[in-house]
Structure formats: structure tokens, C-alpha cells
Amino acid sequence: MSVQSFTVYDIFEMNARRYATDIAITEKNRSLTFESLLEQVNTLAQGLLNQGIGKGDRIAILAMNHLEYLVLYGATAAMGAILVPINWRLSLDEIAYILDDSGAKLLFFDDARKEQLYALMNARQFTGTPVSISATDPTHLSWAELIKDTASPQLAPTDPPPNPPEREDIFCLIYTAAVDGHPRGAALSHENMVMSNLQTCLTMGLTREDAYLNMVPLFHITGMNLALATLHMGGKNVIMEKFDAPSAIDLARKEGVSILASFPPILSTLLDHMDEGDLASINHVTGIDSPDNITAFTQKTGARFWILYGQSETSGFVTLSDHALMPGAAGKQCPVSNIAILDDDDTALPCETSGEIAVRGPVVFQGFWRKEGNLDPSTIRNGWHHTGDMGRIDKNGFLWFEGRKPEKELIKPGGENVYPAEVEKVVLMHPDVVAVCVIGVPDPKFGEGVKAVCVKQPDADLDAPALIAFVGERIARYKKPGYVEFVDTMPEKSDGTIDRIQVKQLYGRA
Amino acid sequence: MSVQSFTVYDIFEMNARRYATDIAITEKNRSLTFESLLEQVNTLAQGLLNQGIGKGDRIAILAMNHLEYLVLYGATAAMGAILVPINWRLSLDEIAYILDDSGAKLLFFDDARKEQLYALMNARQFTGTPVSISATDPTHLSWAELIKDTASPQLAPTDPPPNPPEREDIFCLIYTAAVDGHPRGAALSHENMVMSNLQTCLTMGLTREDAYLNMVPLFHITGMNLALATLHMGGKNVIMEKFDAPSAIDLARKEGVSILASFPPILSTLLDHMDEGDLASINHVTGIDSPDNITAFTQKTGARFWILYGQSETSGFVTLSDHALMPGAAGKQCPVSNIAILDDDDTALPCETSGEIAVRGPVVFQGFWRKEGNLDPSTIRNGWHHTGDMGRIDKNGFLWFEGRKPEKELIKPGGENVYPAEVEKVVLMHPDVVAVCVIGVPDPKFGEGVKAVCVKQPDADLDAPALIAFVGERIARYKKPGYVEFVDTMPEKSDGTIDRIQVKQLYGRA
């Protein structure tokens, strides 16, 4: 191993010494100290080795938030296997696509996602080995079985596996960027994750006194980043399976939670449920929301709300600032994220000028995963990662987000990524639809909603509810259009392709 | 340039956007904002290009602390030239050795070091180009002349130079580790310095509100690290040419200084000069000192004293903790510095067991500079940098320093590094000395003092003052023995070499 190496596994290993008996993770009635967390990580890694898993093999997980999720982060990191966390809100076909594209050998699942797993197995859409992280599934290999034979004559059960990864090796694939209809796995190296942790902690000023409530999913880069950043600093991760407001408020009080991540409608839901004095321990909230919600929340709790910009391709946040400093902006550059605003020829533009947001630095991903295992670095040109987002930097150094480049349109309902192409593909499967353009529109609950602007067959008697139901059977629920508008003709550019800008101008209302 | 690259120059470049009009550096009546600092850095870099300096060329500096020192950090970083900061307390022969070994093309100097420069030039010990950073030297190229023709048809005067370095390229050489009599240049990459900044800021919790008083020299890794860490966070660097207590107290009040670095006798000197309420703005002091001085100082000021362990070879601190948590320890591991305690076979030892302190992580240096330009990585074996220091990690994760390995003895008077071999070599030049062993002994003022234990010719009438004077002419003053003891026979090991352990046991008093 290179002497300069520092991997995600090293966080677990080092903190077992630095904070041995402090609580690292707590979930319901279970807790792990940093010392026992390392033991579990090493034990699981041995179990994976016994299953024939080695460096570079992909291991998927389809589960709610659990303590085991973080143990799996550590175990895959220890041996250089590649973690593939899957968004369980996706449709079966979408999940099957990711399992096939990544070539996952193992698929960890929990009781809550059991039905999805069974359906995938029945349809032969996954032919690897499923592993249940709940104790109660007798039909598949369980976590407990996986780790039961980990002691061997050569190794103590808690020794790390041999042949550790280098920091430039891939730690995980985050599926995103379905610009052309299918998501692509953004390959993040160990270094990417470690650097992302450091600049998050540094900008927010996190310490080992902090406790992060995992209420956003651990399969998204935001959840992953905040969980690992908190872990890195020796803080406490408090796990809840899934967000619900009363439990979040209870847990925050009981565990002294100081950090939350929030996407619409989390903040407004919390505000609806909060009584005087609730969430008083919260010091930091990261995310996006309306200025009204942010102001109401920060005034009630005294917390800081951190506005930000980032992508899976940049390992999470690359800008972060206190909302109070510049409401409406997207934050200032984090310590090792250099940002430029580029024109179409990749020339850097001066401040106060709009262009494409480009990022350079050790948080930039390695490229998109290709089935063959080599990487597609197509967003990286002339030393910059091209985000596909438009923005400008003002004279005070704040980034202002100005939407996606038209050809890379992205809709963000509740913080999820919805690419028009993936929705359009499904809408066009309906025999009565001739043309469609999917756009983002303002939505009072989720911040942004999905709208399908359609031209139908002249004689068709299709209505909006029927089309929504048709699409809903074939795609993740959050991608399903909430709004449908039938139009006579679709605006076109001179080359005959759909003119998205004009569609948005004409039909951009909910 | 690699998309993952982030160099020391990027700190200057990015902060010109993030904190444009904030004060970056202040010295006497001069100040630079982050924006004007970048302008000066780019302008100086253009001046260096005009002198024919390019990537990989070495540029030395022999000067007190000045604002220009930090500008030079940025300009050499911008173009990938290698900075060689020289300790001006060294003897002329020692400085000449470093200039020759590094092959420096330029040597920046200030008025205070003018006599040394002239002496080097007269003795033809430096044949490159000297550059005066003071305006008042008419006999050599001056800083002002260097930058006066930097505007060119191709480049605006403030554009960065083309062909920037990669993060793994060398940023500087810090001469240290004279274990075998001559110092060696520890090669630190851009990444080394950036990572060292990040973990310093993260552990101490530095922010842009902080102001660091540069009273320890900018040629040492400690001074370099704290100056760059403060700069990186958008804080203010306050420059003083050289430590003196009354000025430091004044400046701290005037500039709201919050960070100091301290080596004996700085803390006790400050304590002698402090009145009620002085230094109340100080929040952080890093360094080493006696528990009594630390306690007195922290009680008077309310500051935290950060105990630490580190080397030039690890880009500075790799452990750092509040002294109050564990007086006498050397701190806990910093966020990306993995530490192991190894036995002679490089096997990691369990906690509470003594062995050699070994370091892994992105702060570990690239190797020692060799004249030919390739690097000597001899301390790096089996994935670990071997520090030559002994220690143990206790069950709470604190490192305890237990001295140098006997064969790598190092004496630290006032935070400087003195290697016995380099002193012994000079003592043996005296015709009346037959054998010598140089050891460290307790010293009330500097923490540790240099003692020469000597056997002289049977008939010689050499006394201690005469020997000290002889050595003092040939070596840096801080390396000169403060104590000499003549003995009849030198303790030897069975192989006939000097038994250092026994010498220390028998003669280890001042």
C-alpha cells in the first residue's frame, strides 16, 4: 500500500483508537462503540472474503437506513470491494438495470425491501447471492450466517483483510445522471469520500461532540457524506429507518442530535409537528428549501441552515454557506473544491457572468462505470468536471445556481434526481402518445414537480389520470408525472427536435 | 492538469474569490487583501518566468519573516518551482551546503541577511542569482525589478503562469534529518501541504475569523503550516520579522491575534512581559513547553495549548490535542494521519506497548532530495514512514513520545533540530579531541541543551570554553554545545562503537 494512502476503512480503524469507547452508531436499542464498530467491520469483511468476494467486486444494498449499512461501508472499504447503494424507491426494472449494469455479486436487503428482492429473484433479474441483514429471513443467506465462520487459523476474527485498496480505488458507485434515459454509476474513490468528509467537517465546523440524525437515505450521496463525515470526526450517528417527523423530534431530544439533512418537504413537515423547545439541540441543517421555511426553522431552533451546491459526481457538497449570510445563493466554495464558470469553449468567465459550473479538486469523481469496468470520463475535459448546471459567482464569492443546461434538464422533487429522458421514454410507451416533453414545474410540497407535456393521437380518448397510472406502473413513484397537459402541437426547433426552452415558457406552470 | 488536482497555488486563487476584500496578510504598515495577494503572486510568478525559471527549478530564500515570504510561497507554487526556505541561524558552510545540494538558481534575501549573502557570494559558495526583497539594495536584482516587466502581449500581468504543477509535484524542500552529519531536504508535495493545512484547521477548529501571529520563522515546517492553514481558511496572517515579547503583545492586541506557535523560551518570555489582560485574544497556542509554563499561560489568557507530535517529513503535525485533556501526552492522531507503533520487524504493536512511531497518510513526504533530483525514500518501508522516534499509544488513543531511537538521537533546543552527528563531526575537527559523543540534556531555558562528552589527547590542555569557541565558529549557534564534559574513557558497545545509551546514563546531566 502506498505510504500516502488513507482510505474509508482507515476512518474506522483510526477511530477505534482515537475514540475507542465512545458511541459511534445508535439505532433503537442497539449501539456500537468505535471499537466494536471496527470489530464488526473486520468480521463482516472476513465473511465477504469467505464468500469469494475480492477487490473490485461489486456489492449492492437495497435497504432502509440501518446500523448495518454503515458496517457494510466499512467492510467493503476494508477489502476494496465496490459498494452499490440502491435507491429503493426505484421501480423493479430500474433496480434490475442497476444490478445488471454494476454486475453486483451480492445484494444485501432488509425485511422492508423483501418483496422487491423476491420479485427480482422470481423474474430472474438478479442471479447473484442475496443476503438478508434482518435476522428473520430463513430462505436466504443471512448476515449472521455470513459472519459465523470468520475465525480462521490464519487470522483473528477481527483482523482486517489482507490486500487493502489504494486511495484511488473505487469505494462506491452512485447511480445518477440518467440524461440519456438510463442512470449511470458515478465512481467515487476512497480519496473522493475522505476529502468530501474533510471539507464538510471543516466548513461546518463539526466536532466529536456532534450527533447526526440519519433521516435522509444512506443510499444518496448526501446521506453517505454526512454519516461518514460525522463518523470521521468521532461524532455519533443516530439511525432512523426512514423519516417521520414525530420520531425525528423524539430521537433528536433523546440523543442530543445536532445535525440534520433536509429536502422538501422535511422542513415543513417538522415545522408542522414541532412544539415549543423541540429540536433545540440542532445546530446544523444542510439542504435546500424555501427561504420562508428556512427562516421559520432557524428562528425556532437557533440552528444554522447550510445552503449548498453539489452532485454525486463531486462526492457531495462543493459549496456551503450559512443561509443567513446570503439568502438565495448556493454557498461559497469549500476548501478543496475549485469552481470555475465556463463558456462553451471552456474559457473561464469573470465574476457576475453566467455559464456552466465546472469543478476541479480531489472530490471530483473518477468517471461513470461501464459494464466492462473501465470508466467513462466524458464530463471531464480540459481539467474540469462539467456539471451540466448553469450559474455564476458574484463579487462576494457566492455561487448562484441558475438551473440545468437545457439539454441536460434535471428535475428535483424532494431532493431526488429525475431526468426528463427517463420519464419520456416511459410516457412514449403508451400507444396514444405521439410526442412528449417532461419538464420541472414549481410544486408547493416537494419544491419541484414533474410535468408531462403531451401530444396525443388525433382520435385518442386518453386523459391525464389514465396516463399517470400507466407511467406509475413502470417507474419510481417520485418520477411519475404529477401534472399532465395535452397540447395540439409540440414547439420545435429548426432542426425538428423539441424546443425545451419554449415548452417551459409556454407550459411551465403546475 | 488532472481534474482531481488542488495545489498550494489554488489556495491563493480560490480565496481571491471567496474572501476578495478581506485582509490576508499584514506587516507593519502594509496589508494585502486576498485579491491583491493573488495579484502579487501572479505578478511575481511572471517575473520568475522572465528570469528563465520553470517547473522543478529550485528557488531558495534566506530571510526574516516578511509579507514577501508568503507571496513567494504562492508564486513558486503557481509555476511548479520548488521552494527552499533556509534557516538563517545556520553557519555559512551549512547554508552553502544546502544551496549546493538543492542546486538553487535564485536566492531571495532581505536586508537583515545581507551580510550572510555577501559572504556566500565572496566565497563563491553561491553562483546563482541573488534577489533582494528589500528595496534598498542597489547591487543586486531587486524584487521591484523582477516584477517590473511582467506585462506581456500574451498575458495580463495578473494571469497565472501556464503549465501549472500537479498536486504530487514538489512544493518545497525542508532541510532536516542530519542523522549522518549533513541535513537532507525533505521533499513535500503540494498535496502534502494542503492536507496538512486541512487537518490542522479541522483539529483546532480554525475559521476565517482567526488571525495568526507569525513569530516563529517561516522557514520551519511549523511556521509554514500555520501560515498556510490560516491563509487557507481565509484568516489573517500577521507578520513580525522575528519574535520579541513586547512587540508580540502589542501586535496581538492591535490585530486581534488568536493563534500563536511557541517553542521554549517563547512562552516563559511572554509570561515575563505580560500585564493583566494581555494576550486575551489568543485562543490557540501550538507547541511544546513545560506543563508549568503551559498551565500558567492558559490560565492567564484562557487559550488552549495544543500539544503535538510531527516532523518536517510528515508536513508538520500528525497528532494534536488540548493539553488540558492529557498533560504530558503528545496528542491524538489528526484526521488523515494514520499512526502505528512498530517493532523492529515492522509488526504493529498493541496499545500501551513502546516501539517506533510510524506514519501513513497523505501528509507523508515524498522522500529526501538527492542532488540528481530523484528522491531517497529510505524511511518508507512496508507502507509506513519510520520517524526514528519512539513512543506508545495509550488505551485512550493518546500518543506518548519516548525519545529518539538511540542511533537516531535528536536534540531539540528551543524547537530547533540538532543531530549529534553534525556536532560530533565539528568537535572532532579539533586536534586535541580523540572521541566525542553529543547528547541532549535538560536545559532550564530552551527545554533541551547540547552536551559534548569528550575524551581528549593525554597531554592536551584543552578546556571547555576553548572547545565551545572552536565549534561555535563552524556551526549554527543553536547547535553549539552549551555543556562540555571531559571523561577518561568513552563507554563502548561490544562492537567497539560508542554506547550512546550508557553515555546518557552516566553523563546525562547538564
**A contacts of B338 (beta carbons < 8 Å):** 6, 10, 13-14
**B contacts of A14 (beta carbons < 8 Å):** 333, 338
- Give B352→chain A minimum CA distance, Å: 11
Indicate the angle between helix axes B8-18 and B34-50, nearest 10 degrees. Answer: 140
Cβ of B233 and A335 within 8 Å? yes
A348 touching chain B per CB within 8 A: no
Cβ of B198 and A336 within 8 Å? yes
Record the pTM. Answer: 0.93
Cβ of A384 and B3 within 8 Å? yes
Q: Note the pLDDT of residue A156.
A: 53
Buried b (16+ CB within 10 A) or exposed e, B52-73: ebeeebbbbbbbbbbbbbbbbb
ipTM confidence score = 0.91
Q: Which of A3, A201, A384 sits opposite B360 (nearest CB)?
A: A3
Q: Note the pLDDT of residue B151.
A: 56
Cβ of B5 and A383 within 8 Å? yes
Residue identified by cell 464530463 is: A379
Q: Which residue of A has its CA nearest to B189?
A: A4
pLDDT band for A153, please (50, 70, 90 cuts): very low
Average pLDDT over residues B333-341: 96
d(CA B207, CA B201): 8
Tell whether the model's pLDDT for residue A137 goes beyond 80. Answer: no
SS3 call for B310: strand
**Average model confidence (pLDDT) for chain B?**
93
A5 touching chain B per CB within 8 A: yes
Q: Note the pLDDT of residue B158.
A: 58
Decide: A308 and A319 in contact? Cβ < 8 Å: yes
Query: Looking at chain B from residue 226 to 255, which residues have their Cβ under 8 Å from any Cβ of chain A?
Result: 232-233
How many CA atoms are closer than 13 Å to the CA of B446, on its beta-carbon side? 18
Q: Note the pLDDT of residue B161.
A: 78
* Grid cell digits, residue B264: 521554549
Q: What are phi and psi of A175, to 5 degrees?
A: -80, 130
Cβ of A361 and B385 within 8 Å? no
pLDDT band for B156, please (50, 70, 90 cuts): low
Average pLDDT over residues A308-315: 97
Q: Which residue of A has its CA nearest to B315?
A: A4
Q: Note the pLDDT of residue A155.
A: 47
Q: Note the pLDDT of residue B150.
A: 65
Q: Note the pLDDT of residue A161.
A: 78
B291 touching chain A per CB within 8 A: no
Decide: B258 and B213 in contact? Cβ < 8 Å: no
- Give B371→chain A minimum CA distance, Å: 23
- Give A290→chain B minimum CA distance, Å: 24
**Residue among A379, A361, A448 at smallest CA distance from A413:** A448
Alpha helices in A123-211 (DSSP H): 143-148, 190-204
Q: Which residue of A has its CA nearest to B397?
A: A18
pLDDT band for A356, please (50, 70, 90 cuts): very high
Q: Other CB atoms closer than 10 Å to residue B478's CB: what's the count?
A: 18
Q: Note the pLDDT of residue B153.
A: 44
Q: Which residue of A has its CA nearest to B380?
A: A3
Average pLDDT over residues B61-67: 97
**Average model confidence (pLDDT) for chain A?**
93
Q: pLDDT digits over A358-381, tens only?
A: 999 999 999 999 987 789 999 999
**A contacts of B393 (beta carbons < 8 Å):** 17
- Give B108→chain A minimum CA distance, Å: 30
Tell whether the model's pLDDT for residue B148 goes beyond 90. Answer: no
Q: pLDDT digits over B280-335, tens only?
A: 999 999 998 999 999 999 999 999 999 999 999 999 999 999 999 999 999 999 99
Interface with B, mutate which of A202, A304, A352, A400 (most B CBs under 10 A): A202
In chain B the domains, ranked by start, together with CATH numbers, are: 8-301 (3.40.50.12780), 413-507 (3.30.300.30)
Average pLDDT over residues A472-485: 94
B480 touching chain A per CB within 8 A: no
Q: Which of A174-183, A428-437, B395-404, B449-458 has the lowest mean pLDDT?
A: A174-183
- Give B402→chain A minimum CA distance, Å: 19
d(CA A252, CA A238): 9
Q: Which of A135-149, A405-419, B145-159 has the lowest mean pLDDT?
A: B145-159
A395 touching chain B per CB within 8 A: yes
Percent with pLDDT over 70 in chain A: 98
Cβ of B383 and A1 within 8 Å? yes
Residue identified by cell 427536435 is: A497
Tell whether the model's pLDDT for residue B181 goes beyond 90. Answer: no
Cα A296 from chain centroid (whole Å): 26
- Give A451→chain B minimum CA distance, Å: 36
A360 touching chain B per CB within 8 A: yes
A201 touching chain B per CB within 8 A: yes
Average pLDDT over residues B211-228: 97
**Residue among A154, A183, A181 at smallest CA distance from A49:** A154
Q: pLDDT digits over A259-285, tens only?
A: 999 999 999 999 999 999 999 999 999
Query: Looking at chain B from residue 159 to 188, which residues have their Cβ under 8 Å from any Cβ of chain A?
Result: 167
Q: Other CB atoms closer than 10 Å to residue A113's CB: what's the count?
A: 22
Cβ of A335 and B10 within 8 Å? no
Q: Which of A13, A194, A361 sits opposite B336 (nearest CB)?
A: A194
Interface with A, mutate which of B1, B2, B3 (most A CBs under 10 A): B3
Percent with pLDDT over 90 in chain B: 86
**A contacts of B342 (beta carbons < 8 Å):** none
Cβ of A3 and B396 within 8 Å? no
A361 touching chain B per CB within 8 A: yes
Helix or strand (DSSP H, E) at A455: strand A447-456
- Give A222→chain B minimum CA distance, Å: 20
Q: How many pairs of residues across A and B have Cβ atoms under 8 Å apart? A: 107
SS3 call for A76: helix
Q: Note the pLDDT of residue B403.
A: 87
Q: pLDDT digits over B235-283, tens only?
A: 999 999 999 999 999 999 999 999 999 999 999 999 999 999 999 999 9
Q: Note the pLDDT of residue B488.
A: 94
Cα A475 from chain centroid (whole Å): 18
pLDDT band for B154, please (50, 70, 90 cuts): very low
- Give A183→chain B minimum CA distance, Å: 23
Alpha helices in A184-244 (DSSP H): 190-204, 221-232
Q: Is the peptide bond before A265 cis (omega within 30 degrees of 0)?
A: yes
Tell whether the model's pLDDT for residue A150 goes beyond 70. Answer: no
Cα B278 from chain centroid (whole Å): 28
Cβ of A17 and B361 within 8 Å? no
- Give B45→chain A minimum CA distance, Å: 20
Q: Note the pLDDT of residue B152.
A: 52
pLDDT band for B451, please (50, 70, 90 cuts): very high
Q: Which of B18, B380, B397 sits opposite A397 (nearest CB)?
A: B18
Using alpha carbons only, what angle is made at residue B319 by residues A258 and B187, rounded to the nearest 5 degrees? 125
Decide: A106 and A51 in contact? Cβ < 8 Å: yes
Q: Note the pLDDT of residue A52.
A: 93
B3 touching chain A per CB within 8 A: yes
Which one is predicted more confidently, B132 or B404? B132
Interface with B, mutate which of A1, A2, A3, A6 (most B CBs under 10 A): A3
